[in-house]
Amino acid sequence: MAVGEVMRMEIPAGGDLTVTSPELHVLAVDDSIVDRKVIERLLRISACKVTTVESGTRALQYLGLDGDKGASHLKDLKVNLIVTDYSMPGLTGYDLLKKLKESSAFREIPVVIMSSENILPRIEQCLKEGAEDFLLKPVKLADVKRIKQLIMRNEAEECKTLSHSNKRKLAQDIDTTSPSSSSSSHDDSSLKDFPSSKRIKSESENLSSLL
C-alpha cells in the first residue's frame, strides 16, 4: 500500500475505523464525525497510521479491554498514541484515560485529551491522571507535529534504555561464565607445573650415578 493511501476496516457493531500508513499508530476517539475527520487528516499529513472510533466504549473494544467483545483480531496491533475527545456520551475521554491508566497492558501508552472548552480544573485533572497533553479544539497541525515529536523522542529513549539493559545483561552473562574458564586455565597451569614421570625417572638416575 502506497504512503498516504487509506485502507478502511470495519469491526463488529458498526463504527468508523480508518487505518492509514505508516510510522506511529494513533487511535483517535471522538463522537463528532467532523472532528474525527479533522484529527485524522492532521495525523495523516504528519505521516501517522490512524485508527478512528466514535466513542470511548469502541476504543476499549478495539484495544480488547471490554472482555471478549469487539475486534479481537485487531488487539495485537501496536498503538503508540491515543488521542481522545473529553466530552463524549457514555464513556467520556476522562473515563477512558482512567481505564487505560488502570490497565497493565496499556498504561504506558501516551494519552492526549482534546476539548473545545478551556476549563482549567478539567485540564489539571486530566494531567494529574496521567494525560500526556491537553489540546484545545480546533486542533492545529502544529499541535499534532509537537505531540508526534514528543512521542517519537520517548520511543527512542525507551529503545536506548532497552539496548543498554540488554548490554548489561550480556556483560553479566559473560561475567558469570568467566570463573569456570579461569579455573580451567588455572588447573591447566597447575598440571604443567606438576613434574612428569620421565622427569622424575631421569632425576633418580642422575642421583644414583652420583652415589
Domains along the sequence of the chain with CATH: 25-161 (3.40.50.2300)
Q: What integer pLDDT is reported at residue 77 of this predicted model?
A: 67
3-class SS of residue 105: coil
With cut-offs at 50, 70 and 90, classify the pLDDT of residue 58.
Answer: very high
**What is the maximum alpha-carbon separation in the chain?**
114
pLDDT, average across residues 187-201 = 54
Q: What integer pLDDT is reported at residue 20 of this predicted model?
A: 43
Question: Which of 50, 37, 38, 35 shows the shortest CA–CA distance to 5?
Answer: 50
Q: What integer pLDDT is reported at residue 10 of this predicted model?
A: 42
Q: What integer pLDDT is reported at residue 151 of this predicted model?
A: 86
pLDDT digits (tens, 9 = 90+) for 71-108: 444 445 689 999 999 999 999 999 999 999 999 999 99
Q: What integer pLDDT is reported at residue 21 of this predicted model?
A: 39
**Separation between Cα atoms, residue 54 and residue 58, nearest integer Å:** 7
C-alpha 40 chain-centroid distance: 22
> Which residue reads 485508527 in cell numbers?
51
With cut-offs at 50, 70 and 90, classify the pLDDT of residue 193.
Answer: low
Does position 158 have pLDDT exceeding 90, yes or no? no
